[in-house]
Structure 1
């Protein structure tokens, strides 16, 4: 995910109004989400074959091996971008899907884009030629832990070895040795990376979290931010001990309250247009259901 500063009020379903959380969200996904999220929903919640998710992802993969075409909907750029590759890998993992050739082509593309240390940026100047959210600016053009660390972590989870992964891993380790990122998105990818090392110090991480920008510790806050549920998306997460039961319960309650009357979840930032908004709402809705399922709240 990317860093933004937009704010929108959040609303719940209204006192006394009842709704079947899952059924309403399912109907929203079936009605308004794009094919990829419908395929992912069917795989995760209805037992559909994960190959359907792979097939849907193929439409976003370019001839150069990278992913584009607004796979991450905050920019409508068709060019391959590391952010879209990260979304592709995360989607494969969410579906429990594997396609070695698809991943190999994407990593070969990352290898060609990376700097001498193996680091890659989120995006690039190509996004300037297409509609994009206001936060998609020059800061996304700089190689950084976000997304490099998240990509390395995803490749470990996918069980995919590659010389670029090894080079990027060494760079990420050197960056962690210098200190944690200051932004919650960078910290999120850093923690994903640390899951595959022996360098996790829970006490130092817990002390650092309140210092992060774009971290939404308070479940009642209307502002955009990375929440404890994104750091610990399931009860068996290695990062679950960073948070108290009360913190996680408050954010789970808030997640349920944030479901809108159409069954989907709203956004706390502004995508580049109505289509992108619906696409991202589909992503967020499937993600909310996965979290609620993991914490036995459905």
Structure 2
């Protein structure tokens, strides 16, 4: 069992705090140094629009300034993982109102983005197909609809225009009817929903999520340098539901992350999907992803007590 050395941890921490976005810097301080949530909240407010939704490149791969359900789900995800204060409640309440306004009845959910995204720099997977009326991401209903439902269920006191219980039933039926799983991101969204639901409803989701993970997870370490769903993507900490993910592969993934960081002491972790998409005005997104991914890996190593400190 490998552990990230204290020396290496300090080096990568220095890089993260000096090269990442301010948001990731403050999140690092909160999770590792007892930093205040006030800095995170202050920074997140910069990404929130007057309609309550989030935009302004909170999700680095599309630089659309106006709000989108996808960016807003990321904003609430961050807020849901820090201490609850009056400020967080107010931000989340506004975001829930945005979700109510952008709900699409025919879809019984949300589209990730609208056509306005095409006016701004964006990665090809976020391009809005006008003929189809959606991005390629929207091929799978659960991303981001299942994750949005998780937050609307958790903060249901802030919503009154949507029948959340009906939508939970819809989400369950959707995944029960699904035979072939292609999107790991859709499963990540369903895991968020699973984690927030009461035990009797969780039982309706567990087997289907496990089935989906078994179809998409990459267990071959030789392929982990590529953009593939790794064991820790589904089981980010030891107290989480494992959904049948093999324990030995979780440990192997942790060893891999230790070696990855130790082998990149001079830089933050590069996105495994490469930098070829990040040209011109989209170029800043690549460096932003370095901070996001490095912080994610450090948090997972810490969750499993794999950092010497």
What band does the TM-score fall into relative to the shorter chain? 0.7 to 0.9
Aligned position for 1:57 = 44
Residues of 2 paired with 1:256 and 1:125: CA distance?
A: 41
Aligned position for 2:143 = 146
Aligned residues: 278
1:83-119 Cα distance to aligned partner (Å, 9 max, x none):
1111111211333344111111111111111111540
Q: Determine if contact 2:140/2:183 at 8 Å carries over to the other structure.
A: no
Aligned position for 2:55 = 68
**Offset, 1:125:** 1.3
> Residues 156 and 289 of structure 1: is their aligned pair in 2 closer, same or farther, counting only changes over 3 Å?
farther
Residues of 2 paired with 1:201 and 1:149: CA distance?
A: 12
Q: Determine if contact 1:73/1:279 at 8 Å carries over to the other structure.
A: yes
Q: Which has the higher contact order (CA 8 A, sep 6+)?
A: 1
Aligned position for 1:220 = 222
Residues of 1 paired with 2:209 and 2:142: CA distance?
A: 16
Residues of 2 paired with 1:165 and 1:258: CA distance?
A: 45
> Residues 90 and 201 of structure 1: is their aligned pair in 2 closer, same or farther, counting only changes over 3 Å?
closer
Residues of 2 paired with 1:255 and 1:160: CA distance?
A: 40
Aligned position for 2:192 = 192
Structure 2 gap segments, 5+ residues each: 128-134
3-state SS in 1 of match to 2:125: coil
Residues of 1 paired with 2:157 and 2:120: CA distance?
A: 33
> Residues 161 and 284 of structure 1: is their aligned pair in 2 closer, same or farther, counting only changes over 3 Å?
same
After TM superposition, the structure 1 = structure 2 runs for residues 1-298 of structure 1, keeping only pairs within 5 Å, are: 20-98=7-85, 99-116=88-105, 118-137=108-127, 138-140=135-137, 144-157=141-154, 161-163=158-160, 164=162, 166=164, 168-179=167-178, 181-195=181-195, 196=197, 197-200=201-204, 202=206, 205-212=209-216, 215-221=217-223, 222-238=225-241, 240=242, 242-259=244-261, 260-269=264-273, 270=275, 272=278, 273-298=282-307
Q: Determine if contact 1:235/1:295 at 8 Å carries over to the other structure.
A: yes
3-state SS in 1 of match to 2:29: helix
3-state SS in 2 of match to 1:289: helix
**Offset, 1:161:** 4.6
1:152-178 Cα distance to aligned partner (Å, 9 max, x none):
223445675523371543431231232
Q: Determine if contact 2:187/2:209 at 8 Å carries over to the other structure.
A: no
Q: Determine if contact 1:50/1:97 at 8 Å carries over to the other structure.
A: no
**Offset, 1:187:** 1.5
**Offset, 1:192:** 2.2
Q: Determine if contact 2:12/2:265 at 8 Å carries over to the other structure.
A: no
Residues of 2 paired with 1:129 and 1:36: CA distance?
A: 25
TM-score, L = length of structure 1: 0.84
Residues of 2 paired with 1:244 and 1:256: CA distance?
A: 19
Q: Determine if contact 1:120/1:142 at 8 Å carries over to the other structure.
A: no
**Offset, 1:292:** 0.4
1:5-26 Cα distance to aligned partner (Å, 9 max, x none):
xxxxxxxxxxxxx883321221
1:265-294 Cα distance to aligned partner (Å, 9 max, x none):
110124533311111111111111110000
* The 10-residue stretch of structure 1 (282-291 or 193-202) with the greater mean CA deviation from structure 2: 193-202
**Offset, 1:262:** 2.4
Residues of 2 paired with 1:140 and 1:165: CA distance?
A: 25
1:212-266 Cα distance to aligned partner (Å, 9 max, x none):
3xx433233132122221111000002x252222110111111222222324211
> Residues 208 and 38 of structure 1: is their aligned pair in 2 closer, same or farther, counting only changes over 3 Å?
closer
Structure 1 gap segments, 5+ residues each: 1-17
* The 10-residue stretch of structure 1 (121-130 or 240-249) with the greater mean CA deviation from structure 2: 240-249
Residues of 1 paired with 2:116 and 2:163: CA distance?
A: 25
